[in-house]
Amino acid sequence: MAQHSEGYNQIKNLLAKADIQLDGKRPFDIRVNDEKSAINAILTGKELALGESYMRGDWDCKRIDQLIERIIRNKINEKVLNNKGLLWSGIKTRFVYGRKKNAFVIGHHHYDIGNDLYEAMLDKRMVYTCGYWKDAMNLDEAQEVKLDLICRKINLKKGQRVLDIGGGWGSFAKFAAEKYGAHVTNITVSKEQIKLADERCKGLPVTNKLMDYRDLNEKPFDHIVSIGMFEHVNEPNYALFMKIAAKHLKDDGVLLLHTIGRHNGTGHNDWQHKYIFPNSMLPSLSEITKAGNKYFVIEDVQNFGADYDLTLMEWWKNFEAAWPQLKEKYNDTFYRMWRLYLLTCAGSFRVRNVDLYQIVLTKNGIPGGYHAPR
């Protein structure tokens, strides 16, 4: 029988509390390939070290989503978490990452890596946010239902002008223009997204602009939506975002904010910051409402975070199916990084460690009250 280190046995005993085995054979068990490196990464309790250890191939797990689900549900992460550096991480998140000079970093680092990757992974409309799975049978339907839900929540009418802050490849803009006859201005910080959005929205009343929301200078819109962009705003800028939105929204207009939200902690993950979403953090619901209260009446909050688990698992299946073609451009390290990203997020949403909020805001309140579509 192989002799293992003290650290290996320590981790083995800890994971057993969540019915996870080291070198077990079940999908959620961890297979150790490099004991010294893998165990050291686990014992540090830091996301960056653990993520990089997986990317190197120090350890494997067939179903990382199930592993993460068991770890969080049994609070194993809290037992190994090394709190050193968390304060500095929070300070960096709030006062460094939110600077305007860093606005286009996320576009270059994440959204510009290749439209081929996202075309293969996402639905036919290329919606890179949580789908709405009520009455939906597949990813395409879940995203169409979500886009239509947003249009109904803002009471979109033909000919109205809509601003989409962080609209990516123009998925909402194209849908709103085609299905509702809206005139949409879509802004994003990604050059590749703009390029494809122009192609996909050709012939429609859609304008795609490469710009940061802080540079907006337009006449007020009938409505504003921001779908999956607020995670890149950062806490020092929440109130500024609301101020700019209020300035660009007509007095009787509606702002819909669609964002992932955290329950506790700093909203920052060092591994995701380095490899997936630089200069980003997850807001809490209380931070959003505090920032918005000065400028808006909060009409409605809907939480369908459980639907993000389903969405992410569909993205993972699409990514896996397309990998034989994608691997000619992206290397094995990228494959492990992207797989870790999708499956850890799915596991987190599954145990409701994070959630997805759609928040409807108006400047003066809806006369007689707002009746939220579901």
Contacting residues for 81 by C-beta, under 8 A, at least 6 apart: 45
Amino acid at 97: Y
Q: In three state form, how does the secondary structure of 95-141 look?
A: HCCCCHHHCCHHHHHHHCCCHHHHHHHCCCCCCCCCCCCCCCCCHHH
Amino acid at 322: A
Describe the strand order of the beta sheet including 206-210 as a list of residue ranges: 206-210, 183-188, 161-165, 221-227, 249-262, 354-362, 297-303
Beta bridge partners of 22: 30
| Structure token digits, residue 239 | 């109130």
- Burial of residue 15, with CB atoms counted within 10 A of its CB: 0-12 exposed, 13-18 middle, 19 or more buried: buried
| Structure token digits, residue 177 | 């223009």
- The rounded distance, in Å, linking the Cα atoms of 374 and 366 is 18
Given the residues 61, 151, 201, 345, the one annotated as active site: 345
Active site residue 345: yes
Amino acid at 335: Y
DSSP-derived secondary structure for 213-279: GGG---PPEEEEEEES-GGGT-GGGHHHHHHHHHHTEEEEEEEEEEEEEESSS-S--HHHHHHT-TT
Contact criterion met (CB below 8 Å) for 370 and 360: yes
- The rounded distance, in Å, linking the Cα atoms of 340 and 225 is 30
Length of the chain: 374
Beta bridge partners of 209: 187
Nearest to 222 by CA among 259, 184, 188, 170: 184
Which single residue is written with the structure tokens 């909050």?
A: 301
Positions marked active-site:
345
